[in-house]
Structures are given as C-alpha cells and as structure tokens.
Chain A
C-alpha cells in the first residue's frame, strides 16, 4: 500500500522530537451501501476511504495526525505535525521491518468488490418480499445492505509491518406495521466477518420474518407500565446492556485513568458467581472478530469476569504502558481518522445452568425483553438507559401480553450485582459500538438471563 522505505522515513520523521515510539496506519477501504424501500432500490452508493494515520508516543503522552495526502511531502509533513506535539529525549530510530501478512483466522470466500451489485440486489429483494408478505399490516420494508473490504498496513518503530484485509457484510431489515392510528417498527440486523457468502447463506426466512413479526406485535401492544420489575433479558442482542454497562468499564481507556467502577478491583467479586464475562476476537467469522488488531497485535480470548471475580481488562498499547500491563489484542479504531484504543470485539456472558423456560416459570410478575434496542451509558456514573424493541409482561410464571415503548434505566455495576438467573442458550448479536476511536463492529451476547430489579419507564401512567 505504501513502500517500506517511505514508511520507514515517515517513522523517522515522526521521532525527530524525541518520541519513543511511532506508528503508521494506512487504510484503503472499499464500501458498498444499498438501500431498498417501497420495493425499489432507492440508494446505491460506493466509496473508497483512503488515508494515513501517524501516532507518536513519549512515555504516557501521544500525538496523532492523519491525512488523505499520500504524497511523500504530504506524509512527511503529517509526521512532523505529530512530532511537533512531542517534546521528549528518547533516541529511537526504528527497528528494521519484519514484513508479515496477518494470519487469516476468518476465511473469506467471495470478496464484496468481486460480486456484481445486481446479485446483492436479489438478496435484498428476497428479504423485502418475505417481510412484506408476513402480515397485511406491514406497510413499509427497508432493507439495507452494507459490505466493506478494508485493507490495512500497520507499521511501527518496533519493526512491526503487518498487512491485513478485513471484510464485513451486514444486512439490516426494518419493517413498519401500521393501522389507522399507529406505526410501529421491527428490526433485525445480522452481520459477519464474511464476504458475499454471508448474504447467500443468510436465513432470510428467519431474519426478515422476525423483523416483520416484531413490528406487528408492537402494533397490537399496550403501552408498557412503568415501575421497578424483575426483568428477563433474552439472548443474542440482549447482551447490549452488559456491553454498555460493564464492557466499557472494563476497557483500559477508562480503567487506566481510574474513571471506571472496575478500576483496581482485579481479584474482587464484582458480580454474582453465576456471571462469567468474556471478550473473544478469535471466534471464526463473527461480526466483532479480527485477524489482527489495529496496533498489529493478535486477538485473544480474554476472560474478564470469571464466576463473579474480576480477572482483567481489555488493554491497548498506550494504556498498557500506563497500567504496566501487556496489551490484550484489543486496540481498535474505526478508520485512519482515529488513534486506536482499547475496545471490545465479541463480548458475551457465558452460558449458565437454567433453561429459558425455567427462568420465565420462576418469575411471578415482571417484564420479558425479547429484543433489546440501543442505549447509552454515562461512563462516569455507570448510569445507563436502553430501549426494549419487543417486550412482554410476565404474570405468574407465564409470558403475558406484549407491551411497547419500554425503556430500562439503571446503574451498570449495580445491575451486574443483581443478575439472579443465567440461561444455557448463549447467542450473539451484531451491533456498532461508538466510542473514542470511532464506530466499530462488535458482537454482544448472552444467554437468556434475569435481573432481580430494573427501573422500567413506559407511557402507561399507573402500573
């Protein structure tokens, strides 16, 4: 992508003010984004993102610059701008490069760029047909297909010179059900580290129907009551709560500065002993998986919480320096526009003993969150909020009628402490995670589980 001699010169230039480490990240990415709505292909956009990011460290300080100017002068100027923010006295010249192609953990069969767009369109139409025909109240279906081939080069003054090709494919299906008074939506968005084979093998009958079924269910649902309830959260994307409420607090980004509720607690009980929380970037072809992280380190399976005991954190190189800990293959970034930092890959709560049926049968009065929506968390306080996309009341151990418009609010570390049943049906769900180093693909996951009490907000005035 850039020749080694030029990259070496850029690293030298970046170290002229006494920095002790320099890194160059080059990216050449091809993207397709197609949208079908109202039965027609309404948008088809292709793009090429290309740029170079340069990072310099001096101890715990760092500077980052990036550019789309790939000329020699442009790159050296960008390196100098990074160097200007550094005032060190290290005498680092940069090790000779050890050229390496990142070992492929996640096999890709059909590169997105090699597939005609008309074939992508066919899959989208199938999905729209299935969702559209699910029920006569379905008034609109939107199908979005995204694929991406990101070619990267990561080189640094330690002699690393790694190249990798990352391929992502995702389809999101949104169905709208409407009657005279209301419109409600249902959504499903599966994705993987795969090429076009992902779309060819995707079980559209399941995903498209589910999106439509959720919309139709919500259309007939009453407003959700508000108050404090035991909440059963289903598997797959249900894991988003623990992603936000715990996962982010286990990233070195917040731990290194002592800003996380989990800082300095390794070895302590932070959750009930039925909770084991894992981040694993090596699961073959999963949406959050990687061959190599954005600092050139290999991904690994990181057990973060084991039987309730905090075992470790997700660590990138810079925060690893501050924490005096080895990086864990967790340095990630959206693109050359971001310096990498510690991020999640595929994060999940490990399966427990209970069956989902047992969990429901053991709940006298509560809320069952079949599909979770998005949410956010205040990193300083751990306070979170999440939408539930499909919710039901639970009465006397049975799933009762559906309710819509429910929101969960609470405090992450406290909610973690009140998980009281963990199911045996682990599933993963694809999402985009936004943080300091941009928006990246991650999986969240868990089995069906129950939290003894969460505050539920809804529109119904008395519960």
Chain B
C-alpha cells in the first residue's frame, strides 16, 4: 500500500468516524552506519524505515496516533486510537489543521553529491582515518564510537484542507573518540565532523584534530578550587545553550516552566548577546522551509542586544498569546506530537577569535566539554552543576589540562555576565550553535 492510497482510505474512514480536519505526516529514512575498530569494519548497518503520523480534530480536540506498518489493520488502529486519544484530552487551547501559506522559500537542503558517495568510498575513508589516527601519536591506544552515519530523510505532509508539502534532506557525519595513554593514565577526546562537501574530507587533518584533542588532556595540572574567569569553548557553549533552549519556547513558558515567561520586551542578557533562529542555513541539521504545522518559516531575531524580542511559537501557542506564529511547530518524528522547537538557533558571533580570548586572560579556565547535561541542570531555575574538562590558563597561555572539574552557575545570570563573545561560531551535529564565550566567572571544583 503506497502512502497516497493509504492517506485517501484513512481520510475517508476518518471522516466517516466523525473527524473534522485530518493530517497525515509521512517520513521515510534511509540510513547507513559503519563503525571501525583497529582497521576493521566493526559495525555495518543499513536501514529503510517508513512511518506515518495521523492527527485529526474530533470534538474540538486533536487526536494523534502513528504507525510503522502501512496496511489495512493500521488504518483501523490509527482511527480508533486517535479518536480515543481525542476523547480523553482536556486541552483548553485549540489545535487546528492549517490550510497552508501561499509562498514557501524556494531552497533545497538536499545534496545529490553527498547521496552519490558509495559505501566503499565511505568505508575506505574511515579506514584511512583509522590509520592516520594511530600514526599521529604513539600514545593513541584505541578508538571508541568511531562511526560514520549517512541519513536521507524524505518528509511529506498532506491534510484534508488541501495542503501537500514535501521535503528531502540528507546528511553525513562521522565521529571518533580517541583514547590515549601515558604513564598508565587514560584520557579521551571527541571529534565530530558534519560533511558538507565530500571532495573536501581530509583524513589526515581530521585525525590530527581528533588526536590533538585527546592528547591535550594528558598530564593534568594541580589547580586550586575557586571562582575563575572561564572561557566556554564553542562546543561547550553550544551544549550549554542547547540544554536551555526550551526556555525560549512559548509552550514551555505557557506551562509555567520557563523563567522567560512574560519577559518579552525585557533585557534578559548583556548588550553583547544576540540570539538568532535561521531556518535557511545550508548544511545545518535544523533547516526547513515549512514547520510541522505547514507554516512557511522565516529568519527570526530572538534576542537583540540583550532584549528578548519574542519567544518561539507554533500556531497553538501564538493563538493563546495573541501573536502570530513564528513558524516553530516541530515534531521530532512521526512518533511525536506537534510542539515547539527552534530550527537553527545560535548566538551571533563577536569579533575575537578563540586564541585571542585565551591571550586576553590573565588567569582562568577554558572549559572544553560538559557532561551530565541531562541531569545536572535545573532547566527552570537555570541552575547548573556539571562535570567538565578543560585547561588552565595563566598569563594568556594554556598551561595544560586540569583534572576533571565541576562548574556551577546559573544560565540566566551567565547571559548577563559574558565579557566577550568569540568569532568562532560552530554548530557541530546540532541545531544549536554558539561561539566561544568569555565569562566573568564560575565556581570551579577540581577532582
């Protein structure tokens, strides 16, 4: 049963059962994953997965159900369950099916060149990278999670109000954790690359970056616990921002779970902070021309010179706040319901490079990565206490790595205490991006 046949039968049966407006969201993904360990292919996976999500208005509530099996039995399953789900819902806010906009940005996020890279080319590159990693430094003892993944996702959205939208995106990313050992002490470093142009992949360069990162944590210095000026390197800054990104959602605010509730128009950050959501960036994970409700997307300034100009909205939250949707309806996959999420959300870069930030520091700490982000933060209050790795800086120079540390602070306070915003904006494999940030200070405890 193909998806269009499935849709027609589903909508007809749904209408017979009393659904008013209906939508079918379709997703098909092709995936390739390989992992390398000591020169050999350690994991090889290919997959083809199709799933659909049905939602429909019944007695003024939006009922949802999804399936990965496109057959007759699933049509019955979707309708029965969506109907029962709608019947138990007590949402005060009306969720609607949208007829669509007249114009959508004409831009493609799909790369035919990346799709044409063969399995053999991918595996050969990974094997070469593996060789380069071991050749780069004799202290390399192993690798972990050394994987390449390529994914091609086709999406489509059809509704009973006549909307029909399609999208096709693909990406290719590889990562490696390099494990190094010296004097019986083991350290590791993570390196991730999102490939936008296969012609520019460079195994030697990647290997050097990955190994350099791991080696940089060997032979830690003894440092005192205290309040230090801190540079959050771009990857650490990005992961921290990502953890608190839901506070910019109007949905979270309306649920009373965001400190930014009723802060639109107010200063929430220093003058040097600008936060932007841009759905049209090439080679970024969050790019989209339409959101999960079928609304045409656009670029949005969320924080301008420290002032919160808007929260992120879908149609439901916008209606409740009496504003226009910002096109941030989001559905993680057909397995989810429509909520609110950014497209590509980032802190606008400043002027100083990472090296310049370090050179400007008399004494301080560079934080290079954060752990425990899913547990060591209070997303509501903004408090965080996280395990971190990094370097000790004295007189403008990195002196060496620190022991494992915990850093503690508050996200909302931190937005007001950024002394310098770096120029090195990166997204990595994320929909959230940040440059390195020099912070006034954080409380640091070393193990």
> Which residue numbers of A lie inside 8 Å of B, CB to CB?
28, 34, 37-38, 40-51, 61-70, 78, 81-82, 85, 116-118, 121, 139-140, 176, 182-185, 223-224, 226-227, 257-259, 337, 339, 373-376, 378-381, 383-387, 404-407, 409-411, 455-461
B55-87 residues at the A interface, CB under 8 angstroms: 63-69, 74, 77, 81-82, 84-87
Complex Cα distance A324/B66, Å? Answer: 43
Q: How far is the CA of A11 from the CA of B34 in the complex (A)?
A: 22
Q: Are the CB atoms of B69 and A48 closer together than 8 Å?
A: yes
Task: Give Cα A309 to B378, complex, Å.
Answer: 39
B387 on interface, CB distance cutoff 8 Å? yes
Contacts of B410 in A (CB 8 A): 459
Complex interface: stretch among B40-48, B110-118, B162-170, B421-429: B40-48
Chain A residue, CB-CB nearest to B93: A42
Min C-beta distance of B387 to chain A, whole Å? 3
From residue A27, how far is it (CB to closest CB) to chain B in Å? 9
With an 8 A cutoff between CB atoms, is B318 at the interface? no
Q: A34-B88, A44-B88, A46-B82 are in contact. Are A455 and B385 (CB under 8 A)?
A: no
Instruction: State whether B445 touches A387 (Cβ < 8 A).
Output: no
Does B186 lie at the interface of the complex (its beta carbon under 8 Å from any beta carbon of A)? yes
Kindly state whether residue B179 has any CB partner on chain A within 8 Å.
Answer: yes
A67-B49, A68-B48, A118-B87 known; 14 new pairs, CB 8 Å cut-off, are: A28-B69, A37-B255, A40-B92, A46-B84, A47-B335, A85-B44, A374-B374, A376-B371, A376-B375, A407-B385, A455-B404, A455-B447, A458-B408, A459-B443
Name the one of B81, B257, B446 contacting A46, with C-beta atoms under 8 angstroms.
B81
- Chain A nearest CB, measured from B41 CB (Å): 7
User: Which residue in A61, A81, A176 is a CB contact (below 8 Å) of B40?
Assistant: A61
Contacts of B179 in A (CB 8 A): 259, 380
Q: Is B400 engaged at the interface, CB distance under 8 Å to the other chain? A: no
Find out whether the CB atom of B91 lies under 8 angstroms from the CB atom of A226: no
Chain B residues, Cβ within 8 Å of A70: 69
A360 to chain B, nearest CB (A): 24
Contact (Cβ within 8 A) A65 B45? yes
Q: Are B89 and A42 in contact (CB under 8 A)?
A: yes
Name 26 A/B residue pairs within 8 A (Cβ), A-sorted: A38-B256, A41-B91, A42-B91, A43-B89, A43-B337, A46-B66, A46-B81, A47-B335, A64-B43, A65-B46, A66-B49, A70-B69, A117-B85, A139-B256, A183-B378, A224-B385, A337-B47, A337-B49, A376-B374, A378-B188, A381-B186, A405-B383, A407-B408, A457-B385, A458-B408, A459-B410
Interface residues of B in 384-416 (CB under 8 A from A): 384-387, 404-410
Contact B186 A380 (CB under 8 A): yes
The distance from the CB of A260 to the nearest CB of chain B, in whole angstroms, is 11
A185/B41 in contact, CB under 8 A: no
Q: Are B443 and A46 in contact (CB under 8 A)?
A: no
Assess whether B88 is in contact with A117, with CB atoms less than 8 Å apart: yes
Inter-chain CA distance A66–B68, complex, in Å, is 13
Let me know if B419 is at the binding interface, CB within 8 A: no
CA distance A441 to B231 in the complex (A): 38
Quick one: closest A residue to B259, CB to CB? Answer: A183
Give A335's nearest chain B residue, CB to CB: B68
Q: Residue of A at shortest CB range from B28?
A: A68
A407 touching B142, Cβ below 8 Å? no
- Complex contacts, B337 vs chain A, CB 8 Å: 43, 45
The CA of A40 and the CA of B93, in the complex, are separated in Å by: 11
B144 and A459: CB pair below 8 A? no
A-B pairs with lowest CB-CB distance, top 5:
A457-B406, A385-B387, A374-B375, A46-B81, A44-B85
- The 8 Å CB contact of A41, one of B89, B384, B387, is B89
What chain B residues lie within 8 Å of A226 (beta carbons)? 225, 406, 408, 443, 445
Partner of A373 from the list B47, B375, B405, B406 (CB cut-off 8 Å) is B375
A48 touches B77 (CB 8 A): yes
Which chain A residue has the least Cβ–Cβ distance from B445? A226
Q: Provide the residues of chain A in CB contact with B44, threshold 8 Å.
A: 62-64, 85
Q: Flag if B88 contacts A409 (CB, 8 Å).
A: no
Closest to B255 in A: A37
Report yes or no: B383 in contact with A459, Cβ–Cβ below 8 A.
yes
Verify A339–B45 contact, CB threshold 8 A.
yes
Task: Check B51 for interface membership: any CB of A closer than 8 A.
Answer: yes
Q: Does B151 have its Cβ within 8 Å of any Cβ on chain A?
A: no
B22 touches A (CB below 8 Å)? no
| Interface pair B443/A461, CB less than 8 Å apart | yes
In-complex Cβ contact of B375 among A34, A69, A386, A457 (8 A) = A386
CB distance from B334 to the nearest CB of A (A): 9
**Contact present for A409 and B404 (CB under 8 Å):** yes
- Do B64 and A46 have beta carbons less than 8 Å apart? yes
Q: Name the A residues within 8 Å of B87 (CB-CB).
A: 117-118
A contact residues around B372 at 8 Å (CB): 374-376, 385-387, 407
Specify the chain B residue showing the minimal Cβ separation from A459. Answer: B408
Taking CB atoms and an 8 Å cut-off, the chain B residues in 29-47 that contact chain A are 37, 40-41, 43-47
The smallest beta-carbon distance between B237 and chain A, in angstroms, is 19
A406-B385 contact, Cβ under 8 Å, with A48-B68, A140-B256, A386-B372: yes
**Chain B proximity of A9: nearest CB distance (Å):** 19
Docked pose: A41 CA to B62 CA in angstroms: 12
Q: B317 → chain A, closest Cβ, in Å?
A: 13
- By a CB distance below 8 angstroms, the chain A residues around B41 are 61, 85
CA distance A410 to B384 in the complex (A): 18
Q: Is B381 an interface residue when CB atoms closer than 8 A count as contact?
A: yes
Given known pairs A45-B64, A374-B375, the reply for A459 and B409 (CB within 8 Å) is yes
B374 with A176: CB separation less than 8 A: no
For B380, what are the chain A residues with a Cβ–Cβ distance below 8 Å?
Answer: 176, 183-185
Residue of A44, A82, A337 with most partner-chain B CB within 10 A:
A44
The answer, among A66, A258, A407, for a CB contact under 8 Å with B387, is: A407
Measured between C-beta atoms, what is the minimum distance from B272 to chain A in Å? Answer: 24
Q: Are A140 and B257 touching (Cβ within 8 A)?
A: yes
Near A by CB (< 8 A), chain B positions 1-49 give: 37, 40-41, 43-49
The yes or no answer to B244 lying at the interface (CB within 8 A) is no
Residues of A within 8 A of B186 (CB): 380-381
Taking the complex as formed, is B98 at the interface, i.e. its CB lies under 8 A from any CB of chain A? no
The 8 Å CB contact of B378, one of A85, A184, A376, A411, is A184
Contact A455/B45 with A386-B375, A387-B372 known, Cβ cut-off 8 Å: no
Residues in B with CB closer than 8 Å to A176 are 256-257, 380
B260 at interface, CB cutoff 8 A: no
What is the bound-complex CA distance between A371 and B225, given in angstroms? 26
Residues of chain B with a CB closer than 8 A to A78's CB: 48
Nearest Cβ on chain B to A139's Cβ, whole angstroms: 6
**CB atoms of A407 and B376 under 8 A apart:** yes
Complex: A70 Cα to B84 Cα, angstroms: 28
Question: Given the complex, which residues of B lie within 8 Å of A140, measured CB to CB?
Answer: 255-257
B227 within 8 A of A: yes
Q: Which residue of the partner chain A has the closest CB to B188?
A: A380
Interfacial chain A residues near B82, Cβ < 8 Å: 46
**Interchain CB contact (< 8 A) of B50 among A69, A258, A406:** A69
Closest to A120 in B: B88
Q: Which of B405, B445, B446 has the most CB of A within 10 A?
A: B445
Residue B90 interfacial (CB < 8 Å) = yes
Which chain A residues border B47 with CB–CB below 8 Å?
A: 65-67, 337
Q: Which residues of chain B (249-280) have a CB below 8 Å from chain A?
A: 255-257, 259
Q: By the criterion CB–CB under 8 Å, are B257 and A68 in contact?
A: no
Whether the pair B375, A375 counts as a contact (CB closer than 8 A) is yes
What's the least CB distance linking A460 to chain B, in Å? 8
